[in-house]
Chain A
Amino acid sequence: MEFLDAVFVTPFASMWDNPEFLLEVLIGGLLTGVMYSLVALGFVLIYKASGVFNFAQGTMVLFAALTFVGMLEKGMPVWAAFLVAATVMTAMAFAIEWVVLRPLVNQEQIILFMATIGLTFFLDGFGQLVWGGDVHPLDIGIPKDPLIIGGVLVNEFDLVAAAVCGSLVAALAVFFQKTAVGRALRAVADDHQAALSVGIPLKTIWVIVWAVAGVVGLVAGILWGSNLGVQFSIALVALKALPVLILGGFTSVPGAIVGGLIVGAGEKVAEVFWGPATGGAIEDWFAYGLALVFLLFRPQGLFGERIIERV
């Protein structure tokens, strides 16, 4: 009885009593969700273009952030470090296409998925071998002061992160809709064989898409890193991005964004209001539970392509 009360009555009562606090929690959650979206975005880009479920995305985020921090620590200015890290990610895209994807072309999806897990192990080891396993503090001058907007406490840093994420998505949208490469990417995402038959080079497209995912990962890594320091746990963000993916649909960029926001907000609200009833730390699995329940009603996710099955 007490438990039922704590699950069904108390949380709603406390929300009703203090709507500003609810709003604060909600906004905090939405802003965390932006970060999830950024990581999920990298997944979606790669899955759309090459059908590879890239488990290594989280490690790519970590690796990019480590490279960036390493360059900063060597005394480079921020823009140069960003360029170097972006170049490294592009080079990595070439290497991955050459070593992993090309020999495995036409294999089943689960084999490719496993290969990306192998890649995760490799990059984990490689990144820490080169840059060390310590926590690297990262400060690129993003302000972190709390602001009060309309009676609600918001962290300035989160606003900057949201703005960066928004402009990145806008840039990607322009890239996809208006440039020749973007159109080729969309063609490949629609149908590999049709794209090949009109002369779109599949291999080049794969390199481009992995490189773009790497740069998106770099941005995500810099933002996470400025918040928490660049450390191994960033790679685990990938596990948070997975429920975002199934919620939004593997093939949908807007899905990744909206899914990230839903997961971020839902997670925070659940932790703050239902945490006491269940003993806390439900953040670990709440997103998965949410996504699971959601999928029962809509198996393709929010914006995923409609699943049509034929025999």
Chain B
Amino acid sequence: MLYREAGQFKTSYAADQAVFPIRQDRFLIAAALLIAYVAVPLLGNEYWLLTIMIPFLVFALAALGLNLLTGYAGQVSLGTGGFMAVGAFATYKLATGFPGLNIVAVFLIAGVITALVGLLFGFPSLRIKGFYLAVATLASQFFLIWMFNKFPWFTNYSSSGVISAPQRAVLGHFYVTGAEANPVDKYLFVLSFVAVLAFAAKNLVRGRIGRSWMAIRDMDIAAEIIGIHPLKTKLLAFAVSSFYCGIAGAMWAFIYTGGVEPLAFDIDRSFQILFMIIIGGLGSILGSFLGAGFIVLLPIFLDNTPRLVGLEIPVNTVTNLQSMIFGALIVFFLIVEPRGLARLWQIGKEKLRLWPFPY
């Protein structure tokens, strides 16, 4: 009843091919954007914006990138952290090397550079499949992080190896990076990037490219036989995915933490993002957001629960307990719904078609 497409007739091809063909979907998207753009900046305080909303959006972008590669094109990658690091360092080099360049352009070019690196590390995917490929992508993870640690050129010969993001503004005077940046400006900047890129991804996966990715994922030999070029398709998936991850890494370093350090992009980061797309739902744009929200909020929730309940537990024990609960919850979620939170939303929609009537 609430979520039913009955009665919504399409009278033109354009209407029939819209991204969100159902009116309720359009309404929900508009409401979500309205809340994100208006309500959150108005109601959220600095803590909420800086420690919850911005990391959530950055992770969502990275998860989106990995989901394009793993969920849609079926190539499991454990090198996400490495690609994020490429994005972060490319942004840093570009921002310090060309101080006049607009920060938006800097992010985009950094994304393109990451895409090229991703292309390079995507080549083994033509020969190697499945877990062999997953382990092989770890090579990119370890190699890239080692490279950024080892060659001082990447950090502009800074002695500590940790560097802070320079001050940059968009539209004249809205500072989005650097020490004096305003949290609301930062948040809106990240949000706009994520919204545009998510919309682009949504369109990408329902077109020719996305369909060829899914064909490769489901059975690559069959896809090849029906005329999909595996080389081009897989490499394109790697490039696009790395583009997203690169921008996410740049935002992580420049907007969230305000400094670039290789340690922030170690293997744990890669696993974290893989968790997001598994928990959120493989092959789902919405799932990337749900998974990112879950993984970002869970540790915060676990951190604060004992204090709220009034228990005094030593810090060490809390860390270990957190790790246990986190692991157990992951296993629990996989058992309950292996296809992720996005699948739960889909089931909910099916229910809403009939609700409140029995059939």
Please, how many angstroms separate the alpha-carbon atoms of A100 and B222 in the complex? 33
Residue-wise, chain B 253-276 has the 8 Å CB interface mask toward A (1 for contact) of 000000000000001000100110
Residue-wise, chain B 317-359 has the 8 Å CB interface mask toward A (1 for contact) of 1011111111111110011001000000000000000000000
Residue-wise, chain B 121-153 has the 8 Å CB interface mask toward A (1 for contact) of 000100111111011101100110010011100
Question: CB distance B127 to A125 under 8 Å?
Answer: no
Question: CB distance B328 to A122 under 8 Å?
Answer: yes
Question: CB distance B324 to A291 under 8 Å?
Answer: no
Q: List 16 A-B contacts (CB under 8 A).
A: A107-B338, A110-B282, A111-B334, A115-B331, A118-B328, A118-B331, A122-B328, A124-B320, A125-B326, A126-B324, A133-B316, A239-B267, A243-B139, A245-B135, A301-B132, A307-B129
A118-B334, A129-B320, A239-B267 are contacts. A53–B131 as well, Cβ < 8 Å?
Answer: yes
Question: CB distance B324 to A110 under 8 Å?
Answer: no
A117-B275, A292-B124, A299-B128 are contacts. A128–B334 as well, Cβ < 8 Å?
Answer: no
Residue-wise, chain A 169-196 has the 8 Å CB interface mask toward B (1 for contact) of 0000000000000000000000000000
* Residues of chain A contacted by B317 (CB below 8 angstroms): 129
Question: CB distance B146 to A284 under 8 Å?
Answer: yes
A21: interface (CB < 8 Å): no
Q: Which residues, 54 to 90 on A, are CB-close (under 8 Å) to B?
A: none
Chain B residue nearest to A99 (CB atoms) is B331
Question: CB distance A288 to B142 under 8 Å?
Answer: yes
The distance from the CB of B76 to the nearest CB of chain A, in whole angstroms, is 6
A115-B330, A129-B317 are contacts. A296–B124 as well, Cβ < 8 Å?
Answer: yes
B300: interface (CB < 8 Å): no
A119-B327, A121-B324 are contacts. A114–B136 as well, Cβ < 8 Å?
Answer: no
The distance from the CB of B157 to the nearest CB of chain A, in whole angstroms, is 14
B219: interface (CB < 8 Å): yes
Question: CB distance A118 to B76 under 8 Å?
Answer: no
The distance from the CB of B75 to the nearest CB of chain A, in whole angstroms, is 11
Chain B residue nearest to A56 (CB atoms) is B327
Question: CB distance A126 to B275 under 8 Å?
Answer: no
**Main secondary structure on chain B at its contact with chain A?**
helix
A123: interface (CB < 8 Å): yes
Please, how many angstroms separate the alpha-carbon atoms of A118 and B335 in the complex? 12
Q: Which residues, 220 to 256 on A, are CB-close (under 8 Å) to B?
A: 239, 242-243, 245-246, 250
* Residues of chain B contacted by A163 (CB below 8 angstroms): none
Please, how many angstroms separate the alpha-carbon atoms of A264 and B117 in the complex? 28
A145: interface (CB < 8 Å): no
Question: CB distance A122 to B324 under 8 Å?
Answer: yes
B309: interface (CB < 8 Å): no
Among the 9-residue stretches A148-156, A210-218, A274-282, the one with 4 or more Cβ atoms under 8 Å from chain B is A274-282
Question: CB distance B150 to A124 under 8 Å?
Answer: no
* Residues of chain B contacted by A281 (CB below 8 angstroms): 146, 149-150
* Residues of chain A contacted by B274 (CB below 8 angstroms): 114, 117
Question: CB distance B150 to A291 under 8 Å?
Answer: no
**Main secondary structure on chain A at its contact with chain B?**
helix
Interface residue from A104, A110, A295 paired with B127 (Cβ < 8 Å): A295
Which of the four size classes fits the interface of chain A? 35 or more
Name 19 extra pairs, CB < 8 A, besides A114-B278, A129-B321, A242-B138.
A100-B331, A104-B334, A107-B338, A110-B70, A111-B338, A114-B334, A117-B271, A117-B274, A117-B275, A118-B326, A125-B320, A243-B135, A243-B138, A246-B135, A281-B149, A288-B143, A289-B139, A299-B129, A307-B129
* Residues of chain A contacted by B335 (CB below 8 angstroms): 100, 103-104, 115
Question: CB distance A122 to B327 under 8 Å?
Answer: yes
The distance from the CB of B169 to the nearest CB of chain A, in whole angstroms, is 37
* Residues of chain B contacted by A12 (CB below 8 angstroms): none
Chain B residue nearest to A128 (CB atoms) is B320
Interface residue from B134, B150, B278 paired with A111 (Cβ < 8 Å): B278
A285-B146, A292-B124 are contacts. A125–B323 as well, Cβ < 8 Å?
Answer: yes
Question: CB distance A285 to B143 under 8 Å?
Answer: yes
Interface residue from B131, B221, B275, B282 paired with A250 (Cβ < 8 Å): B131
Please, how many angstroms separate the alpha-carbon atoms of A117 and B276 in the complex? 13
* Residues of chain B contacted by A99 (CB below 8 angstroms): 331
Chain A residue nearest to B139 (CB atoms) is A288
Question: CB distance A292 to B338 under 8 Å?
Answer: no
The distance from the CB of B225 to the nearest CB of chain A, in whole angstroms, is 7
A1: interface (CB < 8 Å): no
Please, how many angstroms separate the alpha-carbon atoms of A269 and B150 in the complex? 20
User: What are the 10 tightest A-B residue pairs by CB atom distance, in nearest-first order?
Assistant: A121-B327, A122-B327, A125-B323, A118-B330, A288-B139, A125-B324, A285-B142, A129-B320, A118-B331, A125-B320
The distance from the CB of A144 to the nearest CB of chain B, in whole angstroms, is 30
Question: CB distance B146 to A110 under 8 Å?
Answer: no
Question: CB distance B331 to A278 under 8 Å?
Answer: no
Question: CB distance B331 to A119 under 8 Å?
Answer: yes
Q: Which residues, 259 to 282 on A, are CB-close (under 8 Å) to B?
A: 278-282
A120: interface (CB < 8 Å): yes
Q: Which residues, 95 to 132 on B, are CB-close (under 8 Å) to A?
A: 124, 127-132
Question: CB distance B135 to A291 under 8 Å?
Answer: yes
The distance from the CB of B151 to the nearest CB of chain A, in whole angstroms, is 7
Chain A residue nearest to B325 (CB atoms) is A125
Chain A residue nearest to B224 (CB atoms) is A311
Interface residue from B124, B136, B323 paired with A121 (Cβ < 8 Å): B323
* Residues of chain B contacted by A292 (CB below 8 angstroms): 124, 136, 139
Please, how many angstroms separate the alpha-carbon atoms of A296 and B127 in the complex? 6
A309: interface (CB < 8 Å): yes
